[in-house]
Each structure stands twice: as structure tokens, then as C-alpha cells.
A and B are shown apart, each in its own frame.
Chain A
Amino acid sequence: MEAISKPVKKKDHDAKMSGRALYVDDHVLDDMLWGRLLHSAKAKARITSILLPQLPEGYYVVDKNDVPGINQVHIVQDDTPVFVEDTVEYVGDPILMVVGPELKQVERILKEIVVVYEELVPVLDMLKSDTVFFKYNYAKGDMEKALQEADRVFIETFQTGYQEQAYLETQGMLAYPHDGRMTVRGSLQCPYYVHGAVAKALGYEEKDVQVIQDVTGGGFGGKEAFPSILACQTAVAAKKANKPVKVIFERREDMEFTSKRHPSICTYKVAVKDGEITGMDIDVLFNSGAYTTLSPVVLQRGLICANGVYRLDNLRVVGRAVKTNTVPCGAYRGFGAPQTFFAVEMMMDHLAKEMGLDSLELKQKYMVKQGDATSTGGKYHFHVPLPEMIEQIDELTNYREKRRQYRNQTGRYRKGIGMSLFFHGCGFTGSGERDIIKAVVRIRKNPDETVEILASNSDIGQGLKTTFSKIVADTLGISLDRVLIENPDTDRVPDSGPTVASRSLMTVGGLLRRAAERLKDEWKAGEEQVIEEHFVEPDFVIPFSITEFKGDAYPTYSWSVNAIEVEVDTLTATTKILGAWGTFDVGVPVDLNIILGQMQGGFLQGIGYASMEEMNCNEQGMIRNNSLSDYIIPTALDVPNLVTKIINNPYTHGPYGAKGAGELPLVGAAPAYVEAMENALGVNLNKAPFTPEDTMRVLQGGLK
């Protein structure tokens, strides 16, 4: 273990452990009003009228007419309204907000409001969508020729469902006007995203908006874009009432109306000639929901991963993100990759069976290595540690032997084991970091010889305050307690970009390392010094063109191999997870405990996605599983101790060798789990999550 990896007590430990940490709902301001949204009850309708009850003194109704700036939330494209105009596009579309001093009164008023809808026919099925929000395609080699010359062409379709982030703290925001400015604080990942959105909605100059991140009870992507929407609504209400307004989502409201992982349908057409895979023709379909939000970037990442970790001479990938009248989907840890990695890993498993091989054997044959081209004609510039990771997992699990043993089982209890190989591209897709984000960090040395980190990245539980501080302290050779870091406040910190895409530690941490190196050189005892650093793209990167889908989509990749072993009770259709193993390459861990915590937490979210987290709409477009009673996330009893191993594979351009970490562990759990279910049940499976109900369907169809 490298010195930097040695765990320390986390910077935020004491406040959180003792219950002293204040989350947005813990703040109560004088004269504060409570806000609650009225959401559309219809999936698609024109609003013909809204009948309001008599409002008591001090209560307000806030809607589109109160938006002083532009009634659009700035995300990527700006089609999401702050409050709806005349039509509603999904069950949950925000129509208005009621604010007032007593929450119970606010709720009573909400119940008395009558919205008269002229219902229109919604599109709920992504296969029936008539609106393509985004379409991308890319290819290499000659796919048509590969298909024409193939001995056999295998065609399969794979489906994945919604996944809800289910952060323990629901969405919440508090806005207060003062001195001609607006301050917004709350549970959020990206202070400057919120900042830009609020300025636009209020029609304020950027200097007149302040955004502060409160202690945030989990995000996982769910607090990347959605807080911009809620912040605009809350700020507009605070502006109208000229008082502080706080909005805290109820759990059901949060589960039903906030963004989730995109459901997907992927079709793979694979050409095989002379026992070799000669090409993959891949069609990817993502359900965006009613507005575009982050769909273009989620889709891009999904497409780039569509051929998995496999080297293919001929490849054609087409992807669409389509509109439906359902809740808008957005960012969730993995960001499009879990969907296509599920599909390609299952496809390889099924192909192997057709070829009379075990899936691992086939996968190993096509696995990429350093120097190989990526799907988009970039390059794997650095060591690809998959071979040693596979051996490590095989040693831990006896995988190869068990795969053989578990074929053709009989009896009530049947075991299975599955393995997945995968990567996560580190940082923003393509040239976003260079062309759009242009991250800036500062560190300030105070006369008392403490050093403060000024960056806009938020610690949402992933340990960023600690890892950032370790980088600065170690570089300067000072003790950790002399490095100060507060929750970001846009009045004090520069825009170092959002807390997303597994970029914070690698990219922003790298800027902090450079800033600290400079400060060390220029250190003047007893004086105040401020050092600023700006993002510079590493010179080895092959520039990425989004129009051509060509070049290095990512500077480097984090790698992982997972294995999951299950035991299926064929009488009850329930499945017990006997073991879950993962080995992870995230460069060099800047703190071993923090990285293990990230790997274990992400792995369990992936196991949930694979096995139990099912969410669907009914025929009216309403989310049916809108509570933690109906949408089941794993408890401590649902899994054994997760075995997580870290390998050191230093990334030369990351701080202390670190690269992206946060998202990686979620990406490969679903294919490992579903492959284990196939191994146990002796059938091919094409969907995730694969729940006990799905097992029951297979069992009722009769086991082979």
C-alpha cells in the first residue's frame, strides 16, 4: 500500500457521527415559509383552468407567471420548465407551488386546488415514441460485409428497468432573498449548475445569486440536475413572497417525480464466421421521459460502452434517447454504462453457449489490452489489468470449477455463479472537460499557516473533503488538520465543475495537487497567498469529436471484474446471494477505507439493480413503486459480506496515481448476477432486474 492510501479519520466524521451535521431540513430561518409543489396528475393534458381556494393571509400560490426571468431550467438543453406552461407532459410535472408559514395549511390548500385537464393521449412505451430527442451513431470496419459473410448471425434483445437513487435524504432546498440577491442552499452535487439555472430563472446577474451546498445525504447522480429544477422553483417562490422558503420532498414525491436511471432496450446483432466474432451491430434505445435533462450525455456514455471490454474489428452502434410521457430520467451512478454493459456481457455469455465455450473463455479471447483501439477509435493508453483480475477472482471464488459443477443441476436448491468484466471511462465524456467545464481551483494559505481548499466539488458522502485534503496536506508536507475545507459556497469558491462522472478526485484533485506543488515552491511564512490552477488536457489524449464520435472518449479507464454466486430455491423462487466478489482498479486509492467504502456501496447498489429494484409505470403513466415499501433496496440481511479487492495500477496523470472511482462498482453487478441466475436455472436470461417474480415465470415455464 502506498503512503497516501493509508486511511485517516474522515474530515466529516465527527459532525455526522454525533448528529451535529446540519442538512437542509435542519435549518429553520426567521419568518421562513414552507413550500410544497402541486404535481400534474395526468401524463399528458392541456390545463384548461386551475381553481384556487381563498388563500389565508401570508400564503401564496407560485406558478409560471411568477418566474421573473425565463421559465426554463438550464440543464443541457433548456426544455424543462420551472413551472409548466399550458400543458403537462408527465405525471408529476410541476404546475405550481403553495407556500406559507404552516406546512399543514399549505397541504390543506394544495388538496383544495382543482386542476381541470383536457386529457391527451400519452406515449408511455418507449417503443411507441414518436419523438427522438437524441440520436447518435458511429461505426468502425465494415459491419455490412461482416454480416453478409457471416456463417451465423445471432440477434438478441436485452432490457433494463428504472433504478431509483434512493439516497436516504430526500431532495430539499432553501432559498432566501436578501440585499437584492438570492441565496439558495440545499442538498445538491453541483453548486454551479444550480447557480446558472437560478440566475436564468430569476433573470438575475450571476453575481446576485449565491448557492451553498448543505451537508448532503447521498446523491448518486440524483442530485446532479434535479436540484437545479427545485432550486429555481424555490427561488421564484422566495422572490415572490420576499421571505425564506424551504421545500423538502416527501419520500413518495421524491421516488415518483425525480430523475432515475434510464430504462433501456438494446438489440445486438452479432456476426460469427469460422468460430470468430467478426462484428457487432448494436441498437440502443433509452427512455428519456418527458424532458431531455441529461439524456444526451447519458446516451453517449452508454453507446461508447456498447461493445464492452471486447476488441471488435467491425462495429456499428446506433443509439436513440426518446421522449415518453413519463418522469424525466437523468444521472445515476454509471450514467448509461450499466445498461449497455449488461447487454454486452449477457450477449457474450449467450454466444459462448452457442459456441460450446464457457463465457469467460470467450470473453478472454476478445478482451482489450493496452495499445488497442477503443470503440470510438481512441486508444487504451495504459495497462489493462483484466487478466490478473480474472485470476484473482477465480482464486477467491473457484469460479471456473463452480461453473462446471453447477451445470445440469436437479433438486430444489440450485446454485449458480456469474462473472462480469467491465470498465468505467474516467471523467466527462469527450471534450467536455476542455471545452465546457474549464475547471478552476484555488488554495489559500492563511497567515496562521493553515491552507484552505476552494473548489466547487461537494462531499456527498464519497469522502471528497478527506481525499482533497490528503492530497493538499501530503503535497505540502503539512498535517491534515492544517488543511481546511468547507462545503462549497459560490461566493467563495471558483467553478471547478460539477461533482459527477467520477471526475472530482482525478481531475479536480489533480488541479489541487498542482496548486499545492506551486504553493510549496512559493511558500512565504506568515503571509496570505492564493494559488489558482486551471484545467489542461493531458497531451496524450486523441481529441474527441462528438459529431464524428471519434477519438479518446476518456483519457483513461478504471477496470473491474465481479463475480456473484447464488442459490435459487426452485420451490419459492427466492434467491440467496452466497457470495459477491469484486476486484477494482481505480489507480492508486487516495484513501483505502474510502475507496473500499465506495466499491462496497456501489457494488450493493448494483446488486439491488440486478436483483430486486423494480420500478414500473401503470397504464396512466404513474410510477407504481413509489415508496421504500414497494421499491425494495438491499438491507444488511440481503447480502453477505462483500469481498472487495483493490489493485494498484497508478495513473500517471492522476494525483498520486488516482483515477475515477465512484461509479465503477455499480456497472458490472447486474450481468454477474444474472449470469449466475442463468447458471443456476440453465436458461438464457435477457433482463435486469431479475426478480423472484421473474424466476417464478421461468420456473412455471418449466426448467430445462
Chain B
Amino acid sequence: MVKFRLNGQEVVSQAQANQRLLDVLRQEFRITGVKCGCKEGECGACSVILDGQLVNSCLVALGSIEGSTVTTIEGYRETERFAALDKAYASVSAVQCGFCIPGMILASECILAKNPNPTEAEIRAGISGNLCRCTGYNAIVQAISIAAEEGKGLW
């Protein structure tokens, strides 16, 4: 039994402590915004925010998060910051197949939370753990810049 906060709610997982957080979120809690792309920490599709840090949930054992706070796209999409990113991503059509997007949005949040005025290089470094095969990254980098600019004060 592991207790943690998931998208603002206290939850208790009945899964074994050695289970991947990714599997627990998708199977036990039916959180489908967390995507499975490789299960070995390479692609970033399963990114979640764990106590303020962007992590690959496939590399996190459930037992290690007792008392922690986990945010997935399902929680984050209710925020004002998400609304700013949403508008920015839409304005440059940065979403193609969409499979990397939940992770990419959480990565965008973590970049801006640490640095509300990132340079292009800082944005690129910040999303370098999140693979996107569709866009060539231009539009995503641009979207994060736009969100930083338009969402002044939010971060």
C-alpha cells in the first residue's frame, strides 16, 4: 500500500512497491494521458511531475513515492498555466501525432517554472529528454517561447 497525492487528491495504490509508476497510473488509476513509449527512460512520453521535478514514470518504482505529489496532464490541464501553453501550442500547430504531447507539456511547465524567460538553448535543453518524431522541434520550441512571453506573471 502506497499513499501519494495524484493530481491534487490523496490516493492509495494497492499495487506492489516494485511496480513502475507508469503502469500503476495507467492500469490502476486509468490515467491514460501518461503514454508508454519505451519503458526504458529514453522517450519521455510517460513524463510526470513528481514533487516539482520532471521524471520518466517508467523509471520510478511505486514504493519510492510514498507521500509524494504526482501531476499528470489530467491534473495540469485544469491550470491557468496550461491554458497559456495550450494557446501557444495551438498558434503554431505544434501538435502533430500527439503521443509525445502530454509529456512535452509537463516538460514545458518544468522549464518555465524554473526559468520564466528561457532562451532557445535553455528550452531545447529542457525538452531534450522528450522525443518528438513529428515536428522537428521548431514549433514546440517556438510554442514554449510564446507561452513564456504571453503568459508573463503566470510563472
A residues whose Cβ falls under 8 Å from a Cβ of B: 7, 9-10, 12-13, 15-23, 25-26, 28, 165-170, 215-220, 250-251, 460-463, 591, 593-594, 596-597, 600-605, 627-629, 633, 635-637, 639, 641-642, 644
Minimal beta-carbon separation of A562 from chain B (angstroms): 13
Q: Would you give the shortest CB distance from B77 to chain A, in whole angstroms?
A: 5
Contact status B95-A168, CB under 8 Å: no
Residues of B within 8 A of A251 (CB): 37-40, 43
Asked if residues A9 and B97 are in contact (CB atoms below 8 Å), the reply is no
CB distance from B98 to the nearest CB of A (A): 3
By a CB distance below 8 angstroms, the chain B residues around A20 are 33
Residues A637 and B125 in contact in the complex (CB < 8 Å), given A23-B35, A218-B133, A463-B96: yes
Interface residues of B (CB under 8 A from A): 30, 32-33, 35-40, 42-43, 45, 72-74, 77, 86, 89-102, 105, 120, 123-125, 127-141
A633 to chain B: which residues have CB within 8 Å?
131, 133
- The CA-CA distance from A25 to B25 in the complex, in Å, is 13
Please state if B32 and A19 are interface contacts (CB–CB under 8 Å). Answer: yes
Answer whether A17 and B43 are a contact pair too, CB < 8 Å, given A462-B96, A601-B134. Answer: no
A220→B133 contact, CB < 8 A: yes
List 5 A-B pairs, Cβ < 8 Å: A13-B89, A19-B77, A22-B32, A215-B98, A251-B40
Whether B73 contacts A604 by the Cβ 8 Å rule is no
Contacts of B43 in A (CB 8 A): 168, 251, 628
Q: With A218-B96, A629-B40 given, name 19 new contacts (CB 8 A).
A: A16-B95, A17-B86, A19-B101, A28-B30, A167-B97, A168-B132, A218-B97, A218-B133, A461-B97, A461-B98, A596-B138, A600-B135, A600-B136, A628-B38, A628-B43, A636-B132, A636-B140, A636-B141, A637-B125
Note all chain A residues with C-beta closer than 8 A to B132. 168, 636
A19-B33, A216-B97 known; A605 and B133 CB under 8 Å?
yes
Which A residues are in CB contact (< 8 Å) with B77? 17-19
Interface pair B99/A168, CB less than 8 Å apart: yes
Task: Give CA–CA (A167, B97) in the complex, Å.
Answer: 9
Distance A460 CA – B96 CA, assembled complex (angstroms)? 8
Which A residues are CB-close (under 8 A) to B94?
597
- Give the contacting residue for A26; candidates B32, B95, B139; CB below 8 A: B32
B133 and A166 contacting across the interface, CB-CB below 8 Å: yes
SS class, residues of chain B in contact with chain A: loop
Residue of A nearest to B126 (CB): A636
Inter-chain contact B39/A168, CB cutoff 8 Å = no
B131 touches A13 (CB 8 A): no
- B35, A168: Cβ atoms closer than 8 Å: yes
Residue of A whose beta carbon sits closest to that of B100 = A168
Q: Known contacts A17-B105, A168-B100, A600-B136; is A636 also within 8 Å of B124 by CB?
A: yes
User: A641, B138: Cβ atoms under 8 Å?
Assistant: yes
Task: Please give, as numbers and ranges, the residues of chain B lying within 8 Å of A628 by CB-CB distance.
Answer: 37-38, 40, 42-43, 131
In the bound complex, do residue A13 and residue B95 qualify as a contact, i.e. CB atoms below 8 Å apart? yes
Q: B93 contacts which chain A residues (CB < 8 A)?
A: 7, 9-10, 13, 463, 591, 593-594, 596-597
Residue in A13, A215, A627 whose CB lies within 8 Å of B40:
A627
Tell me if A597 and B35 are in contact (CB < 8 A): no
A241 CB, min distance to chain B CBs, angstroms: 21
- Least Cβ–Cβ distance between A435 and chain B, in angstroms: 32
Q: Is the CB of B124 within 8 A of A637?
A: yes
Asked if residues A170 and B37 are in contact (CB atoms below 8 Å), the reply is yes
Chain A nearest CB, measured from B8 CB (Å): 16
**Which single residue of chain A is at the shortest CB-CB distance from B92?**
A593
Interface centre among A596, A602, A636 (most CB of B within 10 A): A636
One of A19, A602, A642 near B74 (C-beta < 8 A):
A19
Cα A603 to Cα B133 with chains together (Å):
11
The 5 A-B residue pairs with the shortest CB-CB distance, nearest first, are A19-B33, A16-B98, A461-B97, A217-B99, A600-B136
Residues of B within 8 A of A642 (CB): 136, 138
A104 CB to nearest chain B CB (Å): 10
In the bound assembly, the distance between CA atoms of A200 and B37 in angstroms comes to: 31
Contacting residue for A635 out of B73, B99, B131, CB 8 A:
B131
Q: Which residues from B are CB-within-8-Å of A10?
A: 90, 93, 95
Beta-carbon contact of A460 and B74 below 8 Å: no
B98 touches A21 (CB 8 A): yes
Q: Which residues of A contact B37 (CB under 8 A)?
A: 168-170, 251, 628
The interface residues of chain B lying within 8 Å CB-to-CB of A604 are 136-137
Are B139 and A597 closer than 8 Å at their CB atoms? Answer: yes
* Cross-chain contact A169 with B35 (CB below 8 angstroms): yes
**Contacts A17-B101, A600-B139, A627-B42: A168 and B90 contacting too (C-beta < 8 A)?**
no
How near does chain A come to B39, taking the closest CB pair, in angstroms?
Answer: 7
B124 → chain A closest CB, angstroms:
4
In the assembly, what is the distance between CA of A15 and CA of B86, in Å? 11
CA distance A462 to B32 in the complex (A): 22
**Partner of B97 from A7, A25, A168 at Cβ < 8 Å:** A168
Q: How far is the CA of A169 from the CA of B97 in the complex (A)?
A: 9
- Name the distance in Å between A166's Cβ and chain B's nearest Cβ: 5
**Which of chain B's residues have a CB closer than 8 A to the CB of A16?**
95, 97-98, 101
Q: How far is the CA of A10 from the CA of B92 in the complex (A)?
A: 10
Bound CA–CA A13/B77 (angstroms): 13
B108: min CB distance to chain A, Å: 11
Q: Are B97 and A460 within 8 A (Cβ)?
A: yes
- Known contacts A633-B131, A636-B141; decide if A597 and B120 are in contact (CB<8 Å): no
Docked complex Cα distance between A636 and B122 (Å): 11
B33 cross-chain contacts in A, Cβ below 8 A: 18-20
Neighbouring B residues of A18 by C-beta, 8 Å:
33, 73, 77, 86
CB distance from A14 to the nearest CB of B (A): 8
Let me know if B73 and A593 touch, CB within 8 A.
no
Determine whether the beta carbon of B128 is less than 8 Å from that of A169: no
User: In whole Å, how far is B125's beta carbon from the nearest beta carbon of chain A?
Assistant: 6
Residue of A nearest to B97 (CB): A461
Minimum C-beta distance from B119 to chain A (A):
12
Cα A602 to Cα B36 in complex, Å, equals 23
Pick the residue among A15, A168, A461, A603 that contacts B131 (CB under 8 A). A168
Q: How far is the CA of A55 from the CA of B98 in the complex (A)?
A: 39
Chain A residues near B96 (CB, 8 Å)? Answer: 218, 461-463, 597, 601
Report yes or no: B128 in contact with A635, Cβ–Cβ below 8 A.
yes
A182 CB to closest chain B CB (Å) equals 25
Cα A243 to Cα B47 with chains together (Å): 33
Q: Is the CB of A593 within 8 A of B38?
A: no
Say whether B135 contacts A19, CB under 8 Å.
no
Residues on A with beta carbons closer than 8 Å to the beta carbon of B137: 600, 604, 636, 639
Chain A residue at minimum C-beta to C-beta distance from B37: A168
Query: Chain B residues with Cβ under 8 A from A7's Cβ?
Result: 93
Residue among A23, A250, A463 making CB contact with B99, cutoff 8 Å = A23
Within the complex, the shortest CB–CB distance from B19 to chain A, in Å, comes to 11
Contact between B125 and A603, CB atoms less than 8 A apart: no
Q: In the complex the two chains form, is A168's CB within 8 Å of B133's CB?
A: yes
Report the Cα distance A18→B77, complex, angstroms.
6
Q: Is the Cβ of A17 less than 8 Å from the Cβ of B90? A: yes
Q: CB-nearest residue of chain B relative to A628?
A: B42
Contacts of B73 in A (CB 8 A): 18-19
Q: How far is the CB of A629 from chain B (nearest CB, A)?
A: 6
* Cα separation A463 to B101 with both chains bound (whole Å): 15
A19 to B72, alpha carbons, bound, how many Å? 9
Q: Within the complex, what minimum Cβ distance (angstroms) separates B92 from chain A?
A: 6
Q: What is the bound-complex CA distance between A168 and B105, given in angstroms?
A: 15
CA–CA, A593 to B74, complex, Å?
Answer: 27
Complex: A600 Cα to B99 Cα, angstroms: 18
In the complex, what residue of chain A is closest to B34 when comparing beta carbons? A19
Whole-angstrom CA separation of A461 from B132 in the bound complex: 11
CB distance from A467 to the nearest CB of B (A): 11
Determine how close the nearest CB of chain B comes to the CB of A21; give it in whole angstroms: 6
Query: Within the complex, what minimum Cβ distance (angstroms) separates B101 from chain A?
Result: 5
Known contacts A251-B37, A629-B42, A636-B128; is-contact A9 B90 (Cβ 8 Å): yes
